[in-house]
Amino acid sequence: MYAASNFVYFSEDQGENWLRTNSNTPLDNDNPIYSLGLASSNPSVVYAGTAPFSDPSKMFVTKNAGNSWVQIGMDVLPDRYPVDIAVDPSNEA
């Protein structure tokens, strides 16, 4: 189970205990994470979109259950807040 603030959190016990991903580092400084999308075909793949206070929004992906995140879509996404993220059930990319 995943949840977010300016960090992405992960729980393996139905939310009883939560761990911060990304080596306890926020994805986009102190900007809030506005949306999360989990790949149903691979639960280690998660997408996160931020809703920053002043900078353009950003998208991130992890392919290792949050151990590390990479910013994606810098040149192709419009300058909008990612409200929802849907991952294709047959293509985690």
For every one of its 93 residues, what pLDDT tens digit does the chain have, with 9 covering 90 and above? 999 999 999 999 999 999 999 999 999 988 999 999 999 999 899 999 998 877 788 999 999 999 999 999 888 877 788 889 999 999 999
| 93 vs 85: CA distance, rounded Å | 12
pTM of the model: 0.91
Tell me what pLDDT residue 73 has. Answer: 87
